[in-house]
Amino acid sequence: MKKGEKRDYIAILDFGSQYTQLIARRVREAKVYSEILPYSVDLERVQEEPPKGIILSGGPASVYEEQAPVCDKKVFELGIPILGICYGAQLIAQFSGGKVMKTSQAEYGRINVVLDSREDIFYGIPVNTTCWMSHQDLIENIPPNFEVIAQSENTKVAAMLNREKKIYGIQFHPEVTHTPLGKEIFKNFLYKICQCKPSWNLQSFIQQSVEEIKEKVGKGKVVAGVSGGIDSLVAAVLTHKAIGDQLHCIFINNGLLRKGEAEEVQKRFKDNFKIKLTYIDASERFLEKLKGVSDPEAKRKIVGEEFIRVFEEKAKVIGKVEYLLQGTLYPDVIESISLEGPSSMIKSHHNVGGLPDEMQLKVIEPLKYLFKDEVRKVAKKLKFPEEVIWRQPFPGPGLSIRIIGSVEKKELDILREADEIIKQEVKKSALYKKVWQSFGILLPIKTVGVMGDLRTYEFVLALRIVNSSDGMTADWAKIPYRMLGKISNRVINEVKGINRVVYDISSKPPATIEWE
């Protein structure tokens, strides 16, 4: 939000939760603007443009530890409604005279919570409701002037409230999809308690992004790596709106693409976008660098660094290029390393953590505060074709992280064929737009099989199909057995090198969507 622009917004103080950006997403889903700030933010900065409410995120630390992250205690004296989630709730208790302690009975997963009050933040929520817990500390004694408004079997303070100051503490996570009525809890906080108006929209985001890119780049040149995916394309179109032919789009074939993808991306660009595209086939170069590398983080770093080297080489041909455009999204940022707080790193993404430390180009990331569904909405406003809008997410390191172990051309070709069958069958079933991702992972183990009268000893393919709205949390898709059987039969019969297919039924958390 630009300084001086008056709009209802919520400030989110980040204490290191992997779900901090997801909290921001839930707020914006309710059409209220949100900003993520470090927990140590100077309160004078907050008071310059007072938010209508403040949310304290969760975090991996314990509030009673000596080095625990804490905000300025004066935040509770601003007269602004506050919602503390998990660690945030415990911090409220600790600061306000309550007691937090380690529990002998940690709670993880879906838990039934009983509401003692269905007013304010729990308005319209059933007395018995399912919530997602993830904690090993709990509030043992509530502070003076607070009351308990929810509890679970093992947590006597699942939620508490200081009614006079409008300070709420919730032990569970309303931001994750595993808390089915979490969105309603946020709406109650935003509309009933903070008195926010639903005024945030993506049209203003488009206008602001174009202005900011134009101002930042000036007369400089920008090079963009496009993959055919919606993120890089939206970033490219926004940038092209801002600076026109100062943008140079490059599509690099790194040898890790899906079947027919190189040709498909070039055709899509030619048919739908009035932006010049340079195609570079660097597949041999990437595969040589990846030869013998098994560690997934090493793969990501290699792919990320090699991308930059190719861009830098091309930049010299184009002329003086200063900027690299990337389609980085919120989940990329939070899963790599928190930009604003002490979040724990899960894995790097090639467009965030995979960049080399020494890089000649400055990075532009116009989408880094958006989630995938928001990017799709922006694409619709920009009149993108449907097949682009609904293209499933594909990782920057490509198939290299869907082959467990070292990456060889033979295994890549096997996985490409299997991946194509999965895509065909999911599209046939009309599930392609409904599921978040559907793909295969080639495992580094072989099993015995029988085909005809012959014994086979071939690879195992793990099939992964998940439902999600943001990539931050996901559930495995309950696909009809008939469809699973069709995919398995086709892969085993048509792809030489695979004789067994297994289905991954892990949710995120605790698993991640990709295996590496």
CB 334 within 8 A of CB 20: yes
The pLDDT, as a whole number, for residue 91 is 95
Angle formed by the axes of helices 296-318 and 283-290, to 10°? 150
Extract the residue ranges of the chain whose pLDDT is less than 70: 1-7, 105-107, 330-331, 333-359
Question: How many helices and strands in the chain, by DSSP H and E?
Answer: 14, 18
Q: In the block, which residue shows the tokens 């900027």?
A: 323
Task: Decide the pairing of beta strands 147-152 and 33-38.
Answer: unpaired
Half-sphere exposure of 140 (CA within 13 A, CB side): 11
Of residues 59, 64, 57, the one with CA closest to residue 34: 57
Amino acid at 412: L
R_g of the chain, CA atoms, integer Å: 25
The pLDDT, as a whole number, for residue 336 is 53
- Catalytic residues, which ones? 86, 173, 175
Q: In the block, which residue shows the tokens 């400030």?
A: 11
The pLDDT, as a whole number, for residue 127 is 93
d(C-alpha 11, C-alpha 57), whole Å: 10
d(C-alpha 105, C-alpha 443), whole Å: 36
Amino acid at 59: G
CA-to-CA separations, 407 to 297, 298, 303, 444, in angstroms, rounded: 13, 12, 12, 10
CA-to-CA separations, 287 to 161, 257, 282, 310, in angstroms, rounded: 57, 12, 9, 14
d(C-alpha 325, C-alpha 225), whole Å: 7
Q: Which residues pair with 114 in a beta bridge?
A: 128, 151
Kindly tell me the burial class for residue 401, based on how many C-beta atoms sit within 10 Å of its own C-beta (0-12, 13-18, 19 or more): buried
Three-state SS at 463: strand
The pLDDT, as a whole number, for residue 341 is 45
Task: Decide the pairing of beta strands 9-14 and 53-56.
Answer: parallel
CB 273 within 8 A of CB 237: yes
CB 121 within 8 A of CB 85: no
Three-state SS at 55: strand
d(C-alpha 248, C-alpha 315), whole Å: 9
